[in-house]
Amino acid sequence: MFTLTHIRHVAVLAMQHGKANALDTEFCLALAAKFDELKSADARAVVVTGQGRIFSAGVDLLRATTSGADYFKHFLPALAKLYMSAFFLSKPLVAAVNGHAVAGGCILACCADRRLMARGEGRIGVTELLVGVPFPPLAFEIMRFATAPRYFPEIIYTGATFPPEEALARGLIDEIVAPEQLVELAIAAAEKLGALRPEAFALTKQQMRQPVADALDRHGKRVDAATAAVWLAPETAASMRDYVSRTFKKS
């Protein structure tokens, strides 16, 4: 599902789950466990990246549309666990966005402290409303935290995916780099953050992300229940199938 290598003091986590690193229950749990493991590892910082032209295509809609509503009862908690482990990782996390980062893949990238994207044809954005599903509460708060406030409604409501230059303006990424330098520069960015005193960095990061934790404490359970009700509704499977059909025709 992924490989883990160490470059000096940086752990490089390269996702390798099928052709698109699509998020399914098992993949989410495996990634979450690895992020949790890295909390106490010797690495001072972490880089997460994908493979080929895709960082992650988001939720595995093909599996979701054939597995029935019961699948989401296990998938949604696994997805939340992944985002919780990545977003609140106490060490520096840098996303090396090598290509398309769509929906849940975009949210995973936005968990990072810094996001570098390869120049080229890759696109990044959240398509949840086009699919017909609401954002789980943590996913929504991550997007609110990561993106430029003036562009937040556009990013959420339109379901658009953006090329690197437009993504940079909207706060979805922090830097555009040459594809052949992506991982190298991501490691350098991770090393720079990792050189800071770990205790000071961890507390500062916690303070920066505390509003997300507070929002979850206030509204998380209520929104989570409402979100799950929509994801499990029979109409949702039909909406997903329609989206898959339309999207695959374009590709």
Q: Of the listed 26, 37, 121, 128, which one is catalytic?
A: 128
Q: What is the pLDDT of residues 114-171, one digit of tens each?
A: 999 999 999 999 999 999 999 999 999 999 999 999 999 999 999 999 999 999 999 9
Give the DSSP letter of residue 135.
P
Residue with tokens 């409501």: 157
Q: What is the DSSP string of 2-17?
A: EEEEEETTEEEEEE-S
Split at pLDDT 50, 70, 90, the class of 70 is confident
| d(C-alpha 63, C-alpha 241), whole Å | 11
- Active site includes 165? no
**Dihedral, CA atoms, 50, 52, 56, 62, nearest 10 degrees?**
-140
- Give me the pLDDT at residue 68, please: 77
- Give me the pLDDT at residue 102, please: 97
SS3 category, 115: strand
Split at pLDDT 50, 70, 90, the class of 247 is confident
Domain boundaries, the chain: 2-182
Q: Tell me the fold of 2-182.
A: 2-enoyl-CoA Hydratase; Chain A, domain 1 (3.90.226)
pLDDT for residue 251 is more than 80: no
- Give me the pLDDT at residue 182, please: 98
- Over residues 161-189, the mean pLDDT reads 98
